[in-house]
Structure 1
Amino acid sequence: MPLVLFEDHHWRNLAPLTLTRATFDVKAGARTFFEECVYANNPPNSAMVRKHLEKVTAERHGCKVNPGSFDSDAIFVNGLLHPATLDFSRLSQVSHTFAITSGGRLLAGRLPKKGAEHLQKCAFEGKPVNTKSLAVDKTTNVESSEGLLAEPWDLIRVLENALAMQTVAEQGSEIPGARIIGANPVVAEGANVEEGTVLDARQGSIYIGAGASVAPCRITGPAYIGMQTQVKQFAKIEKSYVGRDCRVAGEIEHSIISDYSNKAHDGFVGHSYVGEWANLGAMTTTSDLKMTYGNIKMGRDTGLNKVGSFFSDMSKTSIGTLVYSGRRIGVSSHLHGLVARDVPSFTIYGSGIGSKNAELELASAIETQRKVMPRRGQSMSKAYEQMMKDVFLATAQERKKAGVRKGKFSI
């Protein structure tokens, strides 16, 4: 039975993380929802995404993207819905068209031709799906909606449980010289874990990928360290995901550090999300708790009293950057000093050191990324470069509204 993942309009809620990737390509723990489908031996046959993400999404997955027509037996699944909340085998046996909805959002369904065309048009334009117009049997599935993401802080809310499931193993590995505490399995086959490392598996399992290099440090589970990643001496990583080919040090607590990103020096990142190709300078620290111990607000109440910040792909911080809780950091933004506000994409943020915020030139952002990618054995494709150009144009009004000026940045 063909599976089609689609984006719904809640990509806006998760922006700016979703400016450079489809909703199903945002990490929810150690895996994206696309990767969860593959892990469950049910890889998506095709996907529906916003126009500017078509080619880069096809490159990432090798599947059809916005193909225009779909198999009449296809099951359409929201890219922000955890696949495990659906009984896909049972849905595949339903012979008639149907739609599972929640709060006006389409969760999953088998749609007639016109319904599929409407869904693709909405995904392509990034607009809400009119579930009332779908001429199918509809049902509200409360159980399924529990696995539906709606806001960026949902990624923090579900992180520990997600990691607990994603690091499950039947048995651990032999790790000479490391001290393992607790009964949960610790897997580190093909990784170099140096003597003196403490692996605390009392609250969850720990997975360390092949080719990873771990200097003496402390890692508390559930935790996932990606392949080829370097964990530096005296690092403290707790209940977090660190992706492949990263460089990390200092303290990382209850956070996601995506592939190819650096936090290679002391500093604290807590209850935060860091996108791909980000670089956090020495002593960069995020706040994740108010002095009043009240809930963090990001436009509205998150319902959580611990929320850090959300750094988009290619964002960077200078030495000694301090970021208030609940901040959204835009694509290819450069941060200096104290950051107490959201930062638009392609912005050099200098307010925290007494300078005026300036627009980062697109050519400079592309050239920097072109230099960075080969350092991890990658190269910039034409699709990736065009995606950066499209995001730059799409976020121009955001910069204008925030008073970001054009011109040279100076300290």
Structure 2
Amino acid sequence: MNYILFDGAMRDQLLPFTFTRPVADIRIGILTIREKWEKMLGFTTTTVTEDYLAEKWTMIELESNVFINASFCPSAKLVELIKGLSENQAIFYKEEPLAFFTTENQEVDFETFDVVEYSNEDVLRVAHTWDIFSKNAEAIQRDFDLLTEGRASQPIPEMTVAFNKENIFIEEGAKLPFCSLNAQDGPIYIGKDAEIMEGAMVRGPFALCDHATLKMGAKIYGGTTIGPHTKVGGEVNNCVIFGYSNKGHDGFLGNAVIGEWCNLGADTNNSNLKNNYVDVKLWDYSAGRFAKTGLQFCGLMMGDHSKCGINTMFNTGTVVGVSANIFGSGFPRNFIPSFSWGGSAGFETYKTVKAFEVAKVVMARRGIEFSKEDEAILETVFEISKEWRRF
């Protein structure tokens, strides 16, 4: 069977993260949504996404295909139903297609499809940017169960303090001397060749992905994922960092989502609670205005390739686009468009030629090439985001 993950109706609500990736490649829990589906289905997947992303993430259609809405995370029951789909059958979530079977070049008319009953009680969906952190604890537990079933953890080092050891899983090559792991409130997963330095304190649910590093004395609270090849220090609470990003020093990051190739300067802090305790509003790209989240705690959303200087202060519910560079004293605005350069004193356009120079250097440090495809994607994001750069 050929499985194809499509972006679906929630794509624009997941900006700025979907400016530079399909919905399927959002990380929540330990794995990306694509990695979850591929592991549970037992097949690789391709993607239906925006035209400007399609050269990097292609779609391959075969004689028989099952399309899956990538904003939904898999469960055992859902995967069983999807594997059982046959021609002209579909699974719906409320009024929206979740998965459906088609033949090559078939014109899809859902009025002619048979709907397979699905109770939806195990749905875990990423429909808004804030779902990435607010549902992360549940996603960590699901991925932990998936990745560790029938496997044995590497031993916990003797000098590491560990609570609820059976809820801790350590992959091969991980280093964690003289740290504290408390898995009483949720599992702790330490990926391959990851490192937790001396004095770090961790509470689950927590995931430290492959080749990631927790710096000395870090304080990590539950519901946090640190993606592959990421370095983190300071205090972090209920955050998801996709990968290849750095928060290497002290400072607080809470109820936040950070994309790839980002860097937070020393003593960067974000507020995650308003002084009057009212629910937080976030910038909504599709509506062109700030929208209610229904959350009392909501911090920072930062798109790929964005950076901030030392002592940067982000207000509650700040959204930063792709490839922004923020510096200076005071609080910058709480919506910073892609390719912005500046801070509280004002912004100007961050020219692509300069942004690409930085991206090439940053990626080369990790042995990854800034490709022509990457450049073309960011050029398109630059054009798309012009309407919000009114300076």
The answer to whether the 8 A contact 1:13-1:150 is kept is yes
Superposed displacement of residue 96, structure 1: 3.7
Cα distance in 1 for residues equivalent to 2:278 and 2:152: 41
| Residue in structure 1 matched with residue 278 of structure 2 by the alignment | 294
The answer as to 2:338 corresponding to 1:361 is no
Change (3 A) 1:348 1:145: farther
2 CA distance for matches of 1:47 and 1:251? 36
Distance 1:105 1:349, change over 3 A: farther
Question: Paired residue for 1:321, among 312, 319, 328?
Answer: 312
1:82 pairs with 2:82: no
User: Which residue in the other structure is 1:151 paired with?
Assistant: 128
Query: Which residue pairs with 1:222 in the alignment?
Result: 205
**Amino acid aligned to 1:35:** E
How far 1:142 sits from its partner (Å)?
5.3
Percent identity of equivalent pairs:
27
> Residues 308 and 149 of structure 1: is their aligned pair in 2 closer, same or farther, counting only changes over 3 Å?
same
Deviation for aligned residue 1:183: 4.2
State the distance in 1 between where 2:110 and 2:38 align.
Answer: 31
Q: Which consecutive unaligned segments of at least 5 residues does structure 1 have?
A: 58-64, 119-131, 405-411
CA contact (8 A) 1:184 1:203 kept: no
Aligned to 1:193: 176
Structure 2 distance, partners of 1:133, 1:280, is 46
Instruction: Verify the 8 A CA contact 2:75 2:122 in the aligned structure 1.
Output: no
The 1-side partners of 2:111 and 2:386 are apart by: 35
Question: RMSD in angstroms over aligned alpha carbons?
Answer: 2.2
TM-score, normalization: structure 2? 0.89
Contact 2:33 / 2:73 at 8 angstroms: preserved in 1? yes
Any idea what SS the aligned residue of 2:335 has?
Answer: coil
1:41 CA drift (Å): 4.3
Matches of 1:166 and 1:388, distance apart in 2: 31
Q: Does residue 231 of the first structure (1) align with residue 221 of the second (2)?
A: no
1:252 offset after TM fit, Å?
A: 0.9
Q: 2:100 aligns with which of 106, 109, 115?
A: 109
- Counterpart contact for 1:346–1:360, Cα < 8 Å: yes
CA distance in 1 between partners of 2:121 and 2:76 (Å): 5
Deviations 1:260-309 (A, max 9, x none): 10000110110100000000001111111122323222233212211111
1:104-183 alignment runs, 5 A limit:
104-111=95-102, 135-138=112-115, 141=118, 143=120, 146-168=123-145, 169=148, 172=153, 173-183=155-165
- List aligned pairs for 1:340-355, cutoff 5 A: 340-350=333-343, 352=344, 354=345
C-alpha displacement at 1:387, in angstroms? 1.1
Is 1:251 the equivalent of 2:235?
Answer: yes
* Residue matched to 2:332: 339
Q: Which residue of 1 aligns with 2:59?
A: 66
C-alpha contact (below 8 Å) 2:271/2:299 kept by paired residues:
yes
Task: Say if 2:254 is the partner of 1:270.
Answer: yes
Flag the structure with higher strand content: 2
Query: Which residue number corresponds to residue 373 of structure 1?
Result: 363
Q: CA deviation at 1:227?
A: 2.1
Aligned residues: 374
> 2:11 & 2:281 partners in 1: Cα distance?
19
In 2, distance between residues paired with 1:288 and 1:85? 34
Structure 1 residues 25, 144: closer, same or farther in 2, change over 3 A? farther
Q: Secondary structure at the match of 2:377?
A: helix
- Aligned-partner Cα distance in 2 for 1:343–1:134: 43
Indicate which of 189, 196, 204 corresponds to 2:186: 204
SS in 1 for 2:337: coil
Aligned counterparts of 1:106 and 1:53: Cα–Cα separation in 2: 22
Q: Distance in 2 between matches of 1:187 and 1:391?
A: 39
| TM-score normalised by structure 1 residue count | 0.85
